[in-house]
Every structure is written in C-alpha cells, then in structure tokens.
Amino acid sequence: MSMNARHRAPSPLRGRAPLAGVVVVLAALVLSVTGFSSASFSARTVNPVGTVTAASDWTPPTVAVTQPAGGTVSGTTTITATASDAESGVAQVVLQYQSADASSWTTLCTDATAPYSCSWDTRASGATPDGPYDLRAIATDKAGYSTTSEVVRTYVANTFAVVLAPLGEVLTGTETASMTVYNAGIAFGSVRLEYAPAGTTRWTTACSAFLLFNTASNCQWSTASVPDGTYDLRATYSGSASTVQTDVLVDNTKPVVTMTDPGTPLSGTRTFSATATDAGSGVETVELQYSQGATGTWKTLCTVTSAPWSCRYDTTALTGGTYAFRAVATDAAGLQTTSAAVANRVVDNTVSSVSLADPGQYLTGTVTLTAAANASAGIASVRIQRAPAGGSTWTDVCTDTTA
C-alpha cells in the first residue's frame, strides 16, 4: 500500500547545509484482534504474632444405607449402613425412617460401632402400616461433622398388598413397570399398570401382565401413546390398588437448540454460546462442539449445565484453520437434539508481519511512503508514524485501510 505524506526538508541539490534533524519513520499494523494484559500481581501478609494450629479434621464422613436396597420388607428386618471417616473416625450412625415423602423422621437406633445396623419391627403396634417408606442414615465423626445419606425407598408389606416399583420422575419412550402382589396366597391373574392425569381419578390401563403366585410381573408401557404431561400411576390386582405414584412427567419431545455464530476470524479467548429450550422436562445440559475442516469428527469445547448456555474458550488450543461449531442439548428425559452447524469459521492466532519500504535518507516536498503487511486473518489498517531520531514520541503520518 502507498500513501502520500507531506514532509518538507532542505534539498541537498541546492547546496543547503545537512539536515539539522533526522526523522525515523515507522509502520504500525492494526489487526482485528483483542489483546489481554499479561500483568500479574502478588500480595503478601505477615502476622508477626500468634500461633496457627491446623484442625485435625475438616472433612465430614461418608455414609450410605446398604440394606435393604429398596424392594419390599415385612416382619422384623435389619437396617444396615456403611460409614467411614479417614481423619478423626466415625463417632456414631443414626438410622431413621419415615412414611414416604413425609417430613417427620423417626429414629430406629443409634450405633457407635461397625457394622452400623439395627432391627426394624415393621409390625410393632401398627406404627408402620403397609405402604412405602423412606430410610436414611446420619453419620457423625469425632470432630463433630455430620453427613446425611441418600434416601432409600422401601415398601412394608405385612398383609395383602399390590406394589408398583418406582418408575422415576420423568418417563420417555417405552418404560418397564414391575408389579408384585404380596400375601395373596395362591395368586394368579392379571395385574395392570394404570395412569390418570395428575390429580384426577380417570384411570386408564397402560399395560398388563399375568401374575403367577407372588412373583413380580412386568409389562411394557409405550409412553408415546399419551400426550406429554404429568400423570399419576398405580398398579391394580383383583380390585385392589397399589400406592399411587404422583406427578410423574411423561416427556417425548426433544429440546430445541441453536448454535450462535461465534464470528470469523477467531483468535484468543472467545465466548461460544447457544440457545436451548425444552417445554417438558427442561434442558439439563448443552454441549458445545467443534470440528476441524471436513474431518466430521466432533470434539467438545465445553459442557454447560445452566442458562445462559455459554462458555469462554481459548482458541490458541486449536490449530489454525477452518472450523465448524454446533451445540447438543439434552433434556431431563435424556432426549437429545443437535443443532445445525455454523461452518467455515477461521481460527487464526498467528503473528502477522508489517514492513516499511525505505523512502531514502533525504526527503523533501511530498513523498510516497509504502508499507507491506500480511495476516491470514486479514488487515484492518496500517498506520505510518514518524519520530525524531532517537526519540520515543511517535506521531501518525497517515492511516490506510486498503492495499
């Protein structure tokens, strides 16, 4: 690129004295690249007095209910938990139960030695009528830290009972329902899974299976046969019904996702994002992916678990070249949607070059100053500057945006 600049100086052809001052000319390259400071800071605090003593245990224990592992119990059964603490050790474990989804826990026992267990008499004074119950364990270590285990759901069946194994909070596709009849003597016949819109009594058979004695029977329910929405579920046998599983969500609709164009060229650390929605169970994750050239191999930029579905990524980790980007959304039902790809986006983190053609030692009148610049990401502009020889103050002569 060439630029005209006016700079007047005595001509040596007229026998004038040599120039009293020498001017240095510089070409400066401006790119469409954002730079970030590499400055770092440190802080130091000194406490000249006092003694700091490290605590012997900052970590709470781990604990889990291991028996029963769900299913059904009757009569007197053993409740067992495992607990550990690598630092101060476990002081005690409290085992508790409550009617399913209630808010008041009852303590079965407190055990200070492993194995942490106690007996649960499910027939005691009618305290636990047949039905679903939650079990949990609370472990406390010798430093006073406590951990509460995950809840284990079990079913007390001391009399005739129809039991539907938990199907989960979100259902999609074809689901397997496991149904069992207890204490029915010689039981045989049809056991059915039924559904109703949540909060109603409009029960409809979803699927059925043949029951022989007290063995569990399974049937397959195609949830696509009903509209997406919230339902109550139960199992029935010979006019008796199981405990109702309420507010179970059926979701057979995939999420909607769109990859946002990150622009081109790309350099340094950039924000990559997508938009994602799901009217049923909701979006759980969005995975942002990239593929280089025409390889067709997709790799993960990042996985985001909450909106806004975006992350910062350092493109210097990628080799220079042409890339495509896309987003994969997954909802709580496990359904996935892959967005259309945003293709032909250039990643370029190479250092560009610029040079200034020598305009000669002595300049007078109007002269043309020419610079050459190169950058695969493209040139935004070139500025030519001047400064007195040996000086550090540079002044713009001109700026050009075209070659």
Residues 221-239 as b/e (b if ≥16 CB within 10 A, e otherwise) read bebeebebeebbbbbbbee
Q: Do 300 and 357 lie in a common domain?
A: no
Q: Do 218 and 283 lie in a common domain?
A: no
Residue corresponding to tokens 């109550």: 232
Looking at residue 65, its amino acid is V
Q: How many residues does the chain have?
A: 403
CATH number, domain of 208, equals 2.60.40.10
Show which of 347, 366, 383 is a domain's final residue.
347
Q: Do 129 and 205 lie in a common domain?
A: no
Beta-bridge mates of residue 132 = 155
What SS3 state is found at 75?
Answer: coil
- C-alpha R_g of the chain: 37
Residue corresponding to tokens 């400071």: 37
Q: Do 105 and 140 lie in a common domain?
A: yes
Q: Do 331 and 359 lie in a common domain?
A: no
Q: Do 167 and 242 lie in a common domain?
A: yes
* pLDDT tens by residue, the chain, 403 residues: 555 444 433 333 333 333 334 444 455 544 444 333 333 333 344 455 455 555 567 899 999 999 998 788 989 999 999 999 999 999 999 999 999 878 899 999 999 999 999 999 998 866 788 888 999 999 999 999 999 999 999 999 888 889 999 999 999 999 999 998 888 777 678 999 999 999 999 999 999 998 876 667 899 999 999 999 999 999 999 888 998 999 999 999 999 999 999 999 999 999 999 999 999 999 999 999 999 986 779 999 999 999 999 999 999 999 999 999 999 999 999 999 999 999 999 998 886 678 888 887 778 878 888 887 776 656 767 888 888 887 778 888 888 877 7
* Token pair of 121 as six digits: 């008499």
Residue 43 is assigned to a structural domain of this protein: no
Residue 47 is assigned to a structural domain of this protein: no
User: What is the Cα–Cα distance from 163 to 115, expressed in whole angstroms?
Assistant: 30
User: What is the Cα–Cα distance from 163 to 243, expressed in whole angstroms?
Assistant: 7
* Token pair of 85 as six digits: 């603490």
Residue 54 is assigned to a structural domain of this protein: no
Q: What does pTM read for this prediction?
A: 0.67
CA 161 to chain centre: 42
User: What is the Cα–Cα distance from 160 to 184, expressed in whole angstroms?
Assistant: 6
353 Cβ partners below 8 Å, 6+ apart? 29, 373, 374, 375
Asked if residues 180 and 214 have their Cβ atoms less than 8 Å apart, the reply is yes
Domain that holds residue 358: 2-11+21-31+352-400
Beta-bridge mates of residue 84 = 62
Q: Do 169 and 104 lie in a common domain?
A: no
For 36, counting Cβ atoms within 10 Å of its Cβ (0-12 exposed, 13-18 middle, 19+ buried), the class is: exposed
